[in-house]
Amino acid sequence: MKKQWRLIAGFVLIFVIVLFAVFNNQSVAVNFLLAQVEAPLIIVIIASAFVGALIMSLVSTGTLWQQKKQIKTLKRELTTQQDTVSEAETASSSGEKIVVEKVTLNNEKDKKAEGD
């Protein structure tokens, strides 16, 4: 349901931008760096909205990749810790003595920072 509301909100936003652009159809001068172009305001508004959406998607994609990489690393650490705990439980139930190494997340980050 959450994705449907985002889709509906996106369509409403696009509709509002298109209406705004249609009602502002006079010609305007656009100065970009050293060039000056005269274009209808509708084209300028739609192009600006498109460029803004493109920049936003590029920025959010980088953040998503970072988060996915961090989640993958944390899942791997969790699996390792769970295996260590299950080995310790098995060893303690069979009467063996086992030493469990405690590793904190900060120590792991320090090791990775030294390696980079």
Per-residue pLDDT reduced to its tens digit, 46-71: 888 899 989 988 888 888 889 999 99
Name the most confidently modeled range: 6-10, 18-22, 95-99: 6-10
Assess whether pLDDT exceeds 60 at residue 74: yes
The CA distance from 88 to 14, in Å, is 58
**Residue 70 contacts by C-beta under 8 Å, 6 or more apart in sequence?**
none
Say whether pTM exceeds 0.85. no
Share of the chain above pLDDT 90, in %: 17
pLDDT of residue 3: 77
Q: What is the mean pLDDT of the chain?
A: 80
Tell which wins on pLDDT, 59 or 112. Answer: 59
Our CA angle for 60, 65, 68, nearest 5°, is: 120
Strand duo 35-40 + 27-32: pairing: antiparallel
The CA distance from 20 to 24, in Å, is 6
